[in-house]
Amino acid sequence: MSEPEKDHGTVVGEDPNRRDFIYIAAGAAAVGAVGVIAAPLVSQMNPAADTLAMASAEFDLGKVQEGMQVVIKWRGKPLFVRYRTPKEIKEAEDVKLSDLKDPQTDADRVKKGKEQYLILVGSCTHLGCVPTFGAGDFGGWFCPCHGSHYDTSGRIRKGPAPLNLAVPEYTYLSDTKVKIG
Amino acid sequence: MSDHPSTYEPKTGVEKWLDQRLPIVRLAYDSFVDYPTPRNLNYWWTFGGILSVCLMIQIITGIILVMHYVPHVDMAFNSVERIMRDVNYGWLIRYVHANGASMFFFAVFVHMFRGLYYGSYKAPREVLWILGCIIFFLMIATAFMGYVLPWGQMSFHGAVVITNLIGAIPVIGGPILTWLQGGFAVDQPTLNRFFSLHYLLPFVIAGVVILHIWALHVTGQNNPAGVEIKSKEDTVPFTPYATVKDGLGIILFLMLFSLFVFFMPNALGHADNYIPANPLVTPAHIVPEWYMLPFYAILRAVPDKFLGVVAMFGAIAVIFVLPWLDTSKVRSMRYRPVMRWFFVIFVVVCLGLGWCGGQLPDDMVFSIGTNSDGNPIGLNYVWLTRGLTFYYFAFFLIIMPWIGLKEDPLPVPASISEAILADHAKKKG
Amino acid sequence: MSAFMTKTLKTFGLMAAAATLVVSAPALASGGAAHPHAPKEGFSFEGPFGTFDQGQLQRGYKVFREVCSNCHAATLLSFRNLGQKGGPFYDEKYKNPNDNPYVKQIASEFEVPDIDTDTGDAITRPATTSDHFPKKFANEYAARASNGGALPPDLSVITKARHGGARYVYSLLTGYHTPPKGLHVAEGQHYNPYMAGALATQWSGDPHHVPVGGVLAMAPPLKDDLVTFDDGTKATTHQMAADVATFLEWAGDPHATLRKKTGVAVLIYLLLFAGLTYAAYRKVWGNKH
C-alpha cells in the first residue's frame, strides 16, 4: 500500500493520499469486524450467569468439635472449618512475621473474639489440591500433591505454594452461625 | 526430492479424466508408490508409519466412544463403565482407546529420539521438525483433556493441577484460569469444553500430520548415514520396499499393543481413576499418566511456582529451536563419537526424569545415615530430579552447541550406497 | 538376516524395558501399606489363561449379599449381570439372563424406589432383572451418619480402584490383627496393615519404624462359619475372603475371560501375519541387501 509505484490499479489523476486512506479504512474495518466477531466467541468461555450466581452458604459452627475440622463444599471448592485448640491458637500467634513466606498475623485471619474458629478455602495455593488435615511439619495441613506445609493458621510455611490458604468473606449471623460469601 | 518427476501414467479413460481435473491418484502414486526412499533406512524409521496407524486407531475408536459417552459430571464415570459392561465390544474399544494413547506416546518418543540421533532436524528439515514438535504438543493437550473425560479422581485432580499451572502466570493468570475453567473451580463447564476440544484436536493433529508429510516429501527422508540422496542407486521405490518394512514394523507394534489391551489393560493407568471424582478429597499420590512424568518432574524440580511452570513449558519449547542449537556439520550421530555418548546419557536422563515424576519429592533415593534429628541424610528425589533437569537443559543449550564445535567427527561416507558397502565390509571383516 | 534379528531384538528389548518401567511406576507409588498377596491356592482368574470358577463366584455372591451388602452398594451391577455368560448364575438354558428364574428370584428380594403412576407417590417395588443393585443409603451424608462418619465405598469396581485389585480385597479381609504396641487406634477404628495410610501421628514408638498400613472404620467383617455355603464348602474366613474377592473381581471386569480369549486369538493371528509379512519382506528386499 505504501509503495504506489508498484500499484498497477492506480487510476491516473487520482489523489494517492485519498486512495491510501480508503484502503487503510477498509482494512481497519475488516480488522474491527474480526474483533467484534471474536469477542463473543472468546467471552462465552467465561463463567455463565448461573455459574456466577453462586449462593452464599450458612454454616452452624456447633457441628465442629474442638481440635477437628469439617469440610463443606462452597462454590465447587472445599471449605475448611476448623475448631482450634488453645495450643494451636498459641502456636499460630507466636510465629514471627519474618519467618513467613506470605506474612500475615493470625489475628488478620480470624474474627476477633472467635479465634478458635478458622475458616479457609481448602484449596492449596500451589496447584489447587486439597490439603490433608493435621499433617505436615507445622500441625496445620499438608498438601499431598507437591508437599506444601501449612501451619495452624493456614499459612504457608514450607513447600512450593506461594500464598497462605485463602480466608473467604464471612460474617457471624449469631454466636454459632456464620454466613460465608 | 522435490525434483523427482512424476512417473504416474493413467491407464484407463476414467483415470485420465480424473487426472486432468483432480490429480489425486497421481499425488498418492508419487507419494506412496514410486516415491524414492533411501535404501538404508533401518527399523527405527518404521515408527512414522506406526504413528499414522496410532492416530487412525485413536480417531476411529474415539468417534465410536462418543456415541456412548455422556459428558456430565454426574454421568461421565458411569457412562464409561456402561461402555465397558453393556455396549457390544465396548470393553475392547475403550481399552484400545485408553491404551492407544500410551502406545501413541511410546511410538512418538521413539520417533523423536530417532530424529535426534540421526540429526533429522538439521537443515533443510527444520520446518519438518517444528511441525513434528507442534504435533507432539497437540498430542499432550489432547491426551490431557481425554484423561479428564472419565471423571475419576485422577481425571479431576489432574485437571485441577494442570489448569492451575495457568494461574501461575503473574497478573493475567487468574482471569485466564477462570476463563479456561468456565467457573471458579473445575466443574461441569470444564468437562464439557474439554470434551469438545478433545474431539476437535485429533483432526487438527491430522491436518498438521499432512503438513508434516508434505514437508517430508519436499526435503526427502533423512537416513542413518545422514547424507542426502545423490543418485538412483541410493534409493528404492517406496512400494514395495518401504511398505513391506513398515508393514512388518506395524504388525510387531500391534502385538505389543495387544499384550496391553487384552492382558493388562489397566497396567498403564491409575487405580484412583476408578474412583468417581470427589472435589473435596485429593488422592494421596497424584501423578499424571506415564508419558507426562518427565515434564511433571521438571515442574516439581523448581521451587518457585511460576518458574516451575516456565521450566516445564521450556522443556518442550527447547525442542522447537533444536535445529539452531546444533552446530555440528555432521548430521548423523553414527559419525559423532563424542556426541553419541551424550545422547545415550540424555535418553537415560529422560527415563530417569520419568521415574522421578512418579515418586514423592521428599522420599529418599538412597540414604547414607541419619542426622541429629534422626532424619535420613542422602539423596532425595527432588535433588535427583534437579540434577536430571539440569542435564536435560544443558544437553540442548550447552552440550549441543559446544560439542558440535569441538568434536572431530568420523569420516562421513560420500553417498548412501557407499555407506551400505562400508556396512557390508564391516560385517564380513 | 542376523543383522535384522539383532536390530529387531534391540528394538523390542528397548520396548520391553520401557514397558517394565512404566508398569512398575504406579505400583511403587502406592507405598505405606503392606504388599497385598493372593490366597495360598492362588486366584483361578489370574494369568493370561485364567478363568472364573462358577461355584466360587456363587459363593462369593453369597458372602457379598449376606455380609458386604449390609453397608456397601454395587450400583454399577444389574441383577441381569448375575445371569449373563460368565456370571455366577449363568445357565445354558437361559441365554437371555432376564429369563433366568434364579436371577429373577434374586432381584425380587430387593426393593427399588419407583413412582406410582396412578397417584404420583414415591413408592418401592420388588426389583426386576434389569434394575441395578439399589443404593444402600440415600446419599453420602446418610451413609456417613450410619457408619460413624466413614463412607463405605461402592464395590462395583473396587478391584480396579485399588492397587493390587482382588489381592488387596483378600489381604485386607484376612489381614486384621491386634495393633502393634505403641500405636494409638481411636475408638471405632481398626488397624490393618493392608490399608493405605500414614500412622506417624498415632505412633509413639521408634519414629523410624512406623508400622505399615492404616486404620479404617470397618470392623473385621468375616469370621469362620459366618455364612453357610450351599455347596458344602467349609466357610473359613480365608475361604470367604477368597470367594468374595473373586466375585468382586468378576463384578469389576465381567468380560475379562472373553477379553483374554480374544487376546490369545488376536496374538496368534498377528504372529502368523508377521511371519507372512516377514517372508514377503525377505522376497522384496532379497536383491537389495
DSSP per-residue letters across C139-199: SHHHHHHHTTT--PPP-TTHHHHSTTTHHHHHHHHH---PPPTTB---TT-EEETTS----
Q: Which residue has the higher pLDDT, A96 or B331?
A: B331
Query: What confidence tens digit (pLDDT) does each residue in B186-211 have?
Result: 999 999 999 999 999 999 999 999 99
The residue assigned the cell 491407464 is: B11
Residues of C in contact with B285 (CB under 8 A): 29-31
- C201–A134 C-beta distance less than 8 A: yes
The answer to whether residue A12 scores a pLDDT higher than 70 is no
pLDDT number for residue A5: 52
Query: CA C220, C221, C224, C227: dihedral to nearest 10 degrees?
Result: 180
What band does B1 get if pLDDT is binned at 50, 70 and 90? very low
As a whole number, the mean pLDDT across chain C is 86
Nearest chain C CA: its distance from A136 CA (Å): 10
Query: What confidence tens digit (pLDDT) does each residue in C190-224 have?
Result: 999 998 877 776 788 887 788 888 888 899 999 99
Residues of B in contact with C270 (CB under 8 A): 251, 254-255, 258
Query: What confidence tens digit (pLDDT) does each residue in B28-37 have?
Result: 999 999 999 9
Mean pLDDT of A75-82: 86
What band does B181 get if pLDDT is binned at 50, 70 and 90? very high
- Best interface-test mutation with B: which of A121, A123, A146 has the largest number of B CBs within 10 A? A146
Query: What confidence tens digit (pLDDT) does each residue in B291-318 have?
Result: 999 999 999 898 888 899 999 999 999 9
Residue B218's CB is within 10 A of a number of other CB atoms, namely: 13
Asked if residues B284 and B360 have their Cβ atoms less than 8 Å apart, the reply is no
Query: Residues of chain B with pLDDT > 70: what percent?
Result: 98
| Residue B271 touches partner C, C-beta closer than 8 Å | yes
The answer to whether residue C23 scores a pLDDT higher than 50 is no
Alpha-carbon span B364 to B356, nearest angstrom: 11
Residues of B in contact with A144 (CB under 8 A): 282-286
- Which of C23, C26, C284 lies at the smallest CB-CB distance from B244? C284
- Among A37-46, A158-167, B31-40, B408-417, the range scoring the smallest mean pLDDT is A158-167
| Residue A135 touches partner C, C-beta closer than 8 Å | yes
Distance spanning both ends of chain B, measured CA to CA: 34
Q: What is the predicted ipTM? A: 0.91
Query: What confidence tens digit (pLDDT) does each residue in C151-183 have?
Result: 899 999 999 999 999 999 999 999 998 998 888
Asked if residues C183 and C211 have their Cβ atoms less than 8 Å apart, the reply is yes
Partner C, chain B 203-242, Cβ-Cβ below 8 Å: 236, 240-241
Query: What confidence tens digit (pLDDT) does each residue in A79-117 have?
Result: 899 999 888 888 888 888 888 888 888 888 988 888 889
Catalytic residue among A8, A126, A146, A149: A146
Query: Residues of chain C with pLDDT > 90: what percent?
Result: 68
Q: Which residue has the higher pLDDT, A60 or C60?
A: C60
Residue of chain C with shortest Cα separation from A136: C201
Query: What residues pair up with B108 in beta bridges, in sequence order?
Result: none
The answer to whether residue B283 scores a pLDDT higher than 90 is no
Residue of chain A with shortest Cα separation from C141: A72
Residues of A in contact with B167 (CB under 8 A): 128
- Number of residues in chain A: 181
Asked if residues A66 and A83 have their Cβ atoms less than 8 Å apart, the reply is yes
- B284–A126 C-beta distance less than 8 A: no
Based on the residue annotation, tell me whether A126 is a catalytic residue of this protein. no
HSE-up (13 A, CA, CB side) for residue B244? 17
- B184–A162 C-beta distance less than 8 A: no
pTM: 0.88
Residues of C in contact with A135 (CB under 8 A): 198, 201
pLDDT number for residue B309: 92
Nearest chain B CA: its distance from A44 CA (Å): 9
Rounded to 5 degrees, φ, ψ at A180 are -105, 130
Alpha-carbon span B10 to B26, nearest angstrom: 8
Asked if residues C182 and C203 have their Cβ atoms less than 8 Å apart, the reply is yes
Mean pLDDT of A151-176: 88
Alpha-carbon span C188 to C172, nearest angstrom: 17
Rounded to 5 degrees, φ, ψ at B191 are -60, -45
State whether the Cα torsion C45-C49-C53-C57 is positive or negative.
positive
Query: What confidence tens digit (pLDDT) does each residue in C24-80 have?
Result: 333 333 347 889 999 999 999 999 999 999 999 999 999 999 999 999 999 999 999
